[in-house]
Amino acid sequence: MAKHETPLLDELTKGPWPSFVDDIKQEAARRHENKDGVEYQIPEDVCDDLLGVLELSYKDKETHWKHGGIVGVFGYGGGVIGRYCDSPQQFPGVAHFHTVRVNHPSGKWYTTDYLRKLIDIWDMRGSGLTNMHGSTGDLVWLGTFTEQLEEIFYELTHNMETDLGGSGSNLRTPADCMGMSRCEYACYDTHALCYALTQEYQDELHRPAFPYKFKFKFDGCPNGCVASIARADMSFIGTWKDDIKIDQDAVKAYVGGELKPNAGAHASRDWGKFDIEEEVINRCPTNCMSWDGSKLTIDNSECYRCMHCINTMPRALRIGDERGASILCGAKAPILDGAQMSSLLVPFVPVEDPFDEVKEVIENIWDWWMEEGKNRERLGETMKRMGFQKLLEVTGTKADARHVQYPRENPYIFWKSEDVPGGFERDIQDFRSRHQR
């Protein structure tokens, strides 16, 4: 018999999608049964009380968590999101329900051995509930009490060689796409760069020193499988400089129907026979492709590297060999002054261990933003307030047509005094000697 009646939540156990309600109930039952004789360090009925408080929220249509919460581990200024229930007498199991962010491996590759050991810690010292994973990438442990935080941290670091993720006004946990581990489009080793920068900037990740949060994300190609252009203050997106590699025989195999377009991604509906003109040539945003019935050609100097043709015919078309990444800056959610996607700053940067060219751009931006950024101002907002030109200056980047989608249409153009013959110091009397009042 469940501790709390949950008629509203029980509705969510119906239907085909995996039900989080079923799963939490299962975990609640497992904790009560406790077959392994675990010495639970937080209330055994944490899962029951979580369902109870959630049912109450469904009824009231209001959250039942108190505002904020400041908890953590010594040495770090972030990593744990404190949370307290606003009805602790009714739901003592979730009186404290802190979230622990655990830094995940690049690409979220795991062994069952590692996950089992992690879960052993969490089973004993937490709720047994997780979020695999948080949007930023962390493996998230949902729900524990303050007294357990240092215990969890000790076991994580000493037994699992695993650290906490980031929270607060600092570098948040970086994340990347699967990259070269299982994708032929990857233009650089996203795992290597993500891991190297996570390690390099541990200090910035664990001890908030920034005006506000700051995120890195690494996409191996413009497809953006980790959505870096929308979800990271600095987005690293793989690309190439030379020509797309064409296998003409494979192109013919697509045209002949032996190979499925988009690797069969649209197989669930009949879209007719593959039409290379209609599906590739005419869809190219720069119109730089042609097909003469037997040969595909690409005018690579006009190619944006949008990925469409490669995505459609992955067996026939491949990324070039001269590879690297573009760096874009400033993506953020709407608060305060509107949503932004990242803007192109460095069109092409080589991505090779030890990634010095990449680090230089990062550190130049930080030096500037840490000094000039206002309290709780994202990089994107600092760019808006101080101007893109300033970002170019501090990163030592030469302005380039690729920095804009189109030139400004208003004539409010600032000049530097040194670029104007005679400078800005003028004498009105001198002017009046030529122009009467």
- Which residues bind to other proteins, rule: CB under 8 A? 66-78, 81-82, 84, 96, 167-169, 203, 207-211, 213, 370-371, 375-376
Q: How far is the CB of 366 from other proteins (least distance, A)?
A: 12
Shorter beta-carbon distance to other proteins: residue 84 or 195: 84
Shorter beta-carbon distance to other proteins: residue 96 or 104: 96
Q: How far is the CB of 144 from other proteins (least distance, A)?
A: 14
The answer to whether 136 and 187 are in contact (CB under 8 A) is: no
Read out DSSP for 57-81?
HHHHTS--B-S------TT-S-SEE
Length of the chain: 437
Q: How far is the CB of 46 from other proteins (least distance, A)?
A: 17
Q: How far is the CB of 74 from other proteins (least distance, A)?
A: 4
Shorter beta-carbon distance to other proteins: residue 65 or 110: 65
Q: How far is the CB of 150 from other proteins (least distance, A)?
A: 10
Q: How far is the CB of 76 from other proteins (least distance, A)?
A: 7
Shorter beta-carbon distance to other proteins: residue 210 or 254: 210
Shorter beta-carbon distance to other proteins: residue 66 or 385: 66
Q: How far is the CB of 140 from other proteins (least distance, A)?
A: 15
- H/E segment holding residue 31: helix 20-33
Query: Using CA atoms, how far apart are residues 47 and 49, in angstroms rounded to an integer?
Result: 5
The answer to whether 234 and 342 are in contact (CB under 8 A) is: yes
Angle (CA) 55-60-62 rounded to 5° is 95
Q: How far is the CB of 385 from other proteins (least distance, A)?
A: 16
Query: Using CA atoms, how far apart are residues 205 and 221, in angstroms rounded to an integer?
Result: 26
Shorter beta-carbon distance to other proteins: residue 157 or 248: 157
Query: Using CA atoms, how far apart are residues 28 and 165, in angstroms rounded to an integer?
Result: 27
Shorter beta-carbon distance to other proteins: residue 100 or 280: 100
Dihedral sign for Cα 294, 296, 297, 302, please.
positive
The answer to whether 242 and 322 are in contact (CB under 8 A) is: yes
Query: Using CA atoms, how far apart are residues 10 and 12, in angstroms rounded to an integer?
Result: 5
Question: What is the distance between the terminal CA atoms of the chain, rounded to a whole angstrom?
Answer: 94
Q: Which residues of 404-433 are buried (b: 16+ CB within 10 A; e: fewer)?
A: eeeeeeeeeeeeeeeeeeeeeeeeeeeeee
Query: Using CA atoms, how far apart are residues 311 and 222, in angstroms rounded to an integer?
Result: 11
Shorter beta-carbon distance to other proteins: residue 136 or 190: 136
